[in-house]
Homo-oligomer: A and B are copies of this chain.
Amino acid sequence: MNEFEDLLRYAKHVAEGVNKVIADLVKGDPKDLYEASMHLIKAGGKRLRPLALTLAGRMYGLSESLGIKAGASVEILHNFTLIHDDIMDKDTLRRGVPTVHTVYGTDMAIIAGDLLFAKAFEALTGLINYSIDPGRIVSATKELSWAAVTVAEGQALDMSFERKVDVSVDDYITMVFKKTAALFKSSLVIGALIAGAPEDEIEKLTEYGSDIGIAFQIRDDILGLVGDEKVLGKPVFSDLREGKKTILVIYALSRLDDEGRSELLNALGNREASVDELRKAAELIKSTGAVEYADQLAEKYIESGLQALQSTHPVDEEAKEMLRKLALYITQRKY
C-alpha cells in the first residue's frame, strides 16, 4: 500500500469540489477570453493549495464544503501566476500541454491572467453569501492581497537573479519564500482565518507553510536537474536554459574553480545551447555535490515545518495528520 494513499484519495475528493466551484465561477463572455482563462486549469493539477486551505480550515472547525469554496480562490490565483510567468519565461509547455500564450497569443494570455486574478478575489468575497463572519472574510481577503503582492515581488526577484552572478543562499531563500512559499502559507492562513483560529495557531501554520513551501521549491530545483520530462510536464533543463539561479546553481558556483565557473556561466541562460551542452552543465553542477547539499537544506526546512505543525492544537486531529502527510508528499520525502 502506498503511504500517501489516503491523502491522495482525499486530495482527489477536494480537487473535484474545487474544480466544480471554479467551473461555476470562471465562465462568461467573451468566450475566447474564458477559454484562455480555463485552458491551464483544465489541463490538470492536484489542487494542493485548496487542499492545504481546506485542511487548515478543518483543523479549527471550518466545514469541508466552505473550505473548498474558499480554496478555489488560491487555486485560481496560482493559475494566474503560472500564465503570466510562462509569458515571461517564454515557456511553451506546462502540465504537459502548450502554455496559454502559445495557444492564444501573449495579449490574450495577459488578459486571461488578469481575469483569473480578479476571479480569485470574487471567490473569496463571494463567501459573504454563506453565514461567515464578514470580519473573517476581510482578513482572508487581506491575506490573499498580501500573497499576490509577495508573489509579484518574488517573480521580479527571480527575473533579476537571472542577470546577477553573485546570488547568495539567503537571497535565494528570500526569493523562493516570496515566489513559491507565500501562496502556500497564505492558503493555510486563509483557511484558519475563515475558521476563526486563534492568532498563535495561525503563526504556527505560517511557519509550517513557509518552511514546507521553501522545501518544495528546493526539491523542484533538484527535479529540474535530475527529473525526466514526462514527470515534469515541461522540458528538462529549462531552468538552466532560462538562466535560473536555482539553489543547485548557486551552490555549484560557490564551489567550482574559475574554469568550471565560467563554463557553467556560459551555458546558463543561453537559449541557443544544445541539449548536450546543457547536459554537460548539469553534470558539472552535480560534480560539486550540489544535489546532496540541496537535499539536506530541504530536509532542514521540512523538519522545522513539521515541528511547527506538531505544536498546533486543532479540534480536528485527522486534518492535522493529513497536513503532515501533505508536507512529506509535496517535498517528496520518504516516511
Residues of A near any B CB (own CB < 8 A): 28-30, 32-33, 84, 87-88, 107-108, 110-111, 113-115, 117-119, 121-122, 125-126, 128, 133-135, 137-139, 141-142, 144-146, 148-149, 152-153, 155-157, 159-160
Chain B min CB distance to A126 (Å): 7
- Among B88, B126, B138, the residue within 8 A (CB) of A110 is B88
Find chain B residues with CB under 8 A from A137 CB: 134, 138
B29:A148 contact, CB within 8 angstroms = no
Given contacts A33-B156, A126-B142, A137-B138, contact A148 B28 (CB under 8 A): no
In the bound complex, CA of A157 to CA of B142 (Å): 31
Residues of B within 8 A of A152 (CB): 33, 111, 114-115, 118
| Distance, CA A242 to CA B84, complexed state (A) | 24
**Docked-complex contact B117 and A88, CB < 8 angstroms:** no
Known: A121-B121, A121-B145, A122-B142. 4 other contacts (CB 8 A): A33-B152, A107-B159, A119-B145, A128-B135
Q: How many copies does the complex hold?
A: 2
Given contacts A128-B142, A134-B134, A138-B128, contact A32 B118 (CB under 8 A): no
Whether A149 lies near B107 (C-beta < 8 A) is no
Q: Chain B residues with Cβ under 8 A from A157's Cβ? A: 30
Q: Say whether A108 contacts B159, CB under 8 Å.
A: yes
- Docked complex Cα distance between A29 and B155 (Å): 12
Q: Check A148–B134 contact: CB distance below 8 A.
A: no
**Cα-based distance from A28 to B122 in the complex (angstroms):** 26
Which chain B residues border A117 with CB–CB below 8 Å? Answer: 114, 117-118, 148
Instruction: List the B side residues contacting A153 at CB < 8 Å.
Output: 28-30, 33, 115
- Chain B residue nearest to A136 (CB atoms) is B134
**B contact residues around A156 at 8 Å (CB):** 30, 32-33, 108, 111
Q: Which of B111, B134, B141 contacts A135 (CB 8 A)?
A: B134
- In the complex, which residues of chain B have a beta carbon less than 8 angstroms from the beta carbon of A115? 149, 152-153
Task: Report the bound CA distance from A218 to B52 in whole Å.
Answer: 48
Kindly provide the distance from the CB of A112 to the nearest chain B CB, expressed in whole angstroms: 8
CB distance from A80 to the nearest CB of B (A): 8
Among A84, A138, A139, A155, the one with the most B-chain Cβ atoms within 10 Å of its Cβ is: A138
A31 to chain B, nearest CB (A): 10
Pick the residue among B29, B113, B122, B138 that contacts A134 (CB under 8 A): B138
**22 A/B residue pairs, CB under 8 Å, sorted by A:** A30-B153, A30-B157, A30-B160, A32-B156, A33-B152, A87-B110, A88-B110, A107-B159, A110-B110, A111-B155, A111-B159, A115-B152, A117-B118, A118-B148, A118-B152, A119-B145, A121-B141, A121-B144, A125-B138, A126-B142, A128-B135, A128-B139
